[in-house]
Amino acid sequence: MRAWTRAALQDMARPRRAPRVEYDCDRSLLAPELQARFVQLDQDDGAKAFLATCRACSVFTVAAFNVLRHFWSITDTNAWLGGGQMHVISQAQAATLLDLRAPAIDPPRSPQQPRRRLLDVGAGDGNVTRHLAPLFDEVVATEVSPGMVKRLQARGYTAVQTGDVTAEGKCRSVECRSIVSRQ
């Protein structure tokens, strides 16, 4: 057991290489109507900042994850262990794709113009929500995991524990990712 513990501690202390990130799309594989609308994004400062915060998990965290996932969902396990952060898109990239600027920067809108609302379906811990929120007047996050809902609320978001994405009113944007794989 001592040899295993010593080896695990040495492995944790070993420097890690940054992950290789590629942004590429073979546009010829896209349907013609998508080719015309496709916007190529590259690794920007937001993605680099996220990658800089990624850390290797300890052997103990991996062991706890592998045990707990048999009793809880992967999302609940990540909520309890403080993991599961994602980076999908930076605020600058979202603004480019959605043709939006932060409400504080936009010219004043008339009272007749609708508020910009974001519905974040399967928001997880809110890391992606944090990047998108400044572009909207209102953000509502949904999550099925009670632990993740608590993390979202701790970040100051209106968070609803539900798998039902029916919402009153209209939303300017709906953001959802990885909700099919969460079980």
SS3 content of the chain, % helix, strand, coil (to 5): 40, 10, 50
Distance of CA 160 to the CA centre of its chain: 17
63 vs 103, higher pLDDT: 63
Per-residue confidence band for 86, with pLDDT thresholds at 50, 70 and 90: confident
92, 44 Cβ separation under 8 angstroms: yes
182, 122 Cβ separation under 8 angstroms: yes
Domain boundaries in the chain? Answer: 2-81, 94-176
94-176 is classed CATH 3.30.70.1560:
no
For residue 95, report the phi and psi dihedrals to the nearest 5 degrees.
-60, -40
Question: Taking 80 as the threshold, does the pLDDT of residue 99 lie above it?
Answer: no
Per-residue confidence band for 156, with pLDDT thresholds at 50, 70 and 90: very high
How many residues would you count in the chain? 183
What are the pLDDT digits (tens) for 4-47? 666 666 665 666 565 566 667 888 898 998 888 888 888 888 88
* Sign of torsion over alpha carbons 144, 148, 150, 153: negative
Per-residue confidence band for 149, with pLDDT thresholds at 50, 70 and 90: very high
Per-residue confidence band for 109, with pLDDT thresholds at 50, 70 and 90: low
Per-residue confidence band for 180, with pLDDT thresholds at 50, 70 and 90: very low
Question: Taking 50 as the threshold, does the pLDDT of residue 143 lie above it?
Answer: yes
Q: What's the rounded mean pLDDT across residues 71-98? A: 81
Mean of pLDDT over the chain: 76
Question: Taking 50 as the threshold, does the pLDDT of residue 181 lie above it?
Answer: no
Predicted confidence at residue 155, as pLDDT, reads 92
Predicted confidence at residue 183, as pLDDT, reads 34
Lowest mean pLDDT among 3-12, 43-52, 135-144: 3-12
100 vs 130, higher pLDDT: 130
